[in-house]
Every structure is written in C-alpha cells, then in structure tokens.
Amino acid sequence: MNSRIASELRLPSSALISADAMIRLEDVAVRYRAPEERLGTFKEYAIRRLQRRVRYADFFALDGINLEVRRGEIFGIIGRNGAGKSTLLKVVSRVLVPRRGRLYLGGEVSPLLELGAGFHPELTGRENVMLNGTLLGRTRRELEARMDSIVDFAELGNFIEAPLRTYSSGMAARLGFAVATAWQPDILLVDEVLAVGDEAFQHKCQVRMQTFRDAGTTALIVTHDMVTAAALCARAAWLERGKICSIGPTARVIEDYRAA
C-alpha cells in the first residue's frame, strides 16, 4: 500500500471499522492558527483587536492523513524534524483534537512519551506513583495492587519512602518508566528510542517491551533512526510537511525516504 492508494481509505464516515484496526486515522488535519506577532497579554490582545490588527498565519502540521494500524502491529513513523511526527502522536494520544477527520482507537492508549509527568519533589516516591499513575488514568486500587512490583522494577527499595527531591535523575526516570509500563497496554506510543537509566536497566526495559510485543500490544513508534525502524517495525510511514509521502513495508519506505 502506498500514498496513491490512500484515497481509497477515504471512506464515508459511517463506514464500519474492521475489528482488527487498533488505530485508524481518516483524512486527519491539524491546523495551527497563530497570531503573526506574539500577543503575550490580554491587554496587548485587546488593544490590537481594537485596532483590528490581529493577523493570523495558518500552518498545517498534519494534512489529509490516512492510516490504519492493526492489532499487534509495530508501526513506525519516520521523517525529518518538524515533519509532523510528534503532532501525529499527539493526535493519537488525544492531546490534540484534529480540526478535520476521524480518529478511531480500538483500545486504551498508553503514551510512553512523558515519563514521570506531574512528579512533585516534596512528595515521597510512593505518593508520586499514586499521582503519576492516576494522571495516566489508573485508579488508586489498581496502583496499590501493583505498588510492590513497580517499586521492584524501578529498583528503589527503601528510597520509595523518601521525597522525590532526594532522588537522582536516573532514579526518577526509572520510577516513571516503571509506572508507565506496569500494565500491558492496548496501544503503546513511543517517541524516539527509550534511553532510561544505566545499561542494565535499559536491558530490563527492552525485555519488558519485548514482553508487550509478544503479548500482542500494538505500538506506534516515532524515530529518526532508520536502523531502529527497520529492526522493530514491519510497516512504516514517511511523513514530510504534514503529509504521508510513502507508506508500506519498512524497507521500501526507508528506500523512498533515502531517495528523496
């Protein structure tokens, strides 16, 4: 499948979605509309508005994206900086609501992008697990049930009762990874290659990702690194200026990308 066939995906919106689809985007567009000059305060904005001098510049971060990722598939997104790769992840994680098009998700999305979001330095490791975990949509009961295995995996031992400000950055990152991956996700979103902690811990992370893969987790991976993409993903898409230039088997997409 490549971009020429993509128009076939532009199905009527009532179209049934195959039970196999885990992520599906239909004609998705994300348009940023920013004032041409930065209006930092309401005062500035109100004055400019009265002078009728607020001009906007439109910018399409994503335009006409059609994509389907099937259950258990590891799908890669490649492309240069500013091509819209991260915007695409934001759409799939529902952070950005597209201006146009349809997003379908066949399961819960677990973004492995923001490890340790909301960590607070004054709270203990345990309290931060509760805060970070609930931010990721877990319930208190679920987190309490998994607490021991999270602490074990992060290799924190008694430090779990100490305030987070006493942690090294590696310890905090390990805790963040342990919370984010404590459950087998339906859909995993990964931005760039994961580099958390020392070599031994990185190995543990890889093993865990492998377990997810074997258990049928669907994954969307954004990367600059063609070696990673080729090694992990059976299919991939090449994104350029918010559009899909090529989509299909990873080897061919990389070839197209390199040829350009």
Partner 1 sequence: MKTETAPRRPQVYDSLKRGPVAVEELRGLIKYRDLIYQLVRRDLVSRYKRSALGIVWTMLNPLGMMVVLSVVFSQLFRTVEGYPAYVLSGLLAWNFFSQTTSAAMTQMVWGSTLLHRIYLPRTTFVVSAIGTGLVNLVLALVPLLLVVIVIGLPLRWTLTFLPVPILLLTAFSLGVGLLFSAWAIYFPDVAEMYQLLLVAWLYMTPVIYPAETIPEAYRYWFFHLNPMYYMVEIFRKPIFSGVLPSFAQLGAAASIAFITLALGWIVFSSRADEFTYRV
Q: In the complex, what is the shortest distance from the CB of residue 103 to partner 1, in angstroms, rounded to a whole number?
A: 4
Q: Does 123 bind partner 1 (CB under 8 A)?
A: yes
Tokens at 144, concatenated: 């309490």
In the bound state with partner 1, the residue whose beta carbon lies nearer, of 97 and 259, is 97
Q: Which helix (H) or strand (E) holds 141?
A: helix 140-154
Q: Are 155 and 174 in contact (CB under 8 A)?
A: yes
**Burial class of residue 60, CB neighbours in 10 A (0-12, 13-18, 19+):** middle
Binder of partner 1 out of 57, 95, 251, 260 (CB under 8 A): 95
Binder of partner 1 out of 64, 76, 84, 98 (CB under 8 A): 98
Distance separating the N- and C-terminal Cα atoms of the chain: 19
Convert 178-216 to b/e letters by CB count within 10 Å (16 or more is b): bbbbbeebbbbbbbeebebbeeebeebbeebbeebeeee
Q: Does 53 bind partner 1 (CB under 8 A)?
A: no
Reduced to 3 states (helix: H, G, I; strand: E, B; else coil), residue 158 is helix
In the bound state with partner 1, the residue whose beta carbon lies nearer, of 98 and 197, is 98
Q: Does 20 bind partner 1 (CB under 8 A)?
A: no
Binder of partner 1 out of 109, 154, 173, 209 (CB under 8 A): 109
Binder of partner 1 out of 20, 36, 37, 108 (CB under 8 A): 108
- Residues 194-233 binding partner 1 (CB under 8 A) are 208, 211, 215
In the bound state with partner 1, the residue whose beta carbon lies nearer, of 19 and 259, is 19
In the bound state with partner 1, the residue whose beta carbon lies nearer, of 28 and 229, is 28
Fill in the per-residue mask, 28 to 47: x = in contact with partner 1 (CB under 8 A), - = not in contact: ----xxx-----xxxx-x--
Q: What is the DSSP letter of 5?
A: T
Going from the C-alpha of 4 to that of each of 41, 76, 234, the distances in angstroms are 46, 19, 20
Q: In the complex, what is the shortest distance from the CB of residue 186 to partner 1, in angstroms, rounded to a whole number?
A: 6
Q: Are 229 and 207 in contact (CB under 8 A)?
A: no
Half-sphere CA count of 7, side-chain side, radius 13 A = 1
Binder of partner 1 out of 1, 72, 114, 256 (CB under 8 A): 114
Q: Does 55 bind partner 1 (CB under 8 A)?
A: no
Residue 175: closest CA among 141, 139, 211, 136: 136
Enumerate binding residues for partner 1 (CB under 8 A).
Answer: 13, 17, 32-34, 40-43, 45, 90, 93-98, 101-109, 111, 113-114, 117-118, 120, 122-123, 127, 130-131, 134-140, 142, 146, 149, 153, 183-184, 186, 208, 211, 215
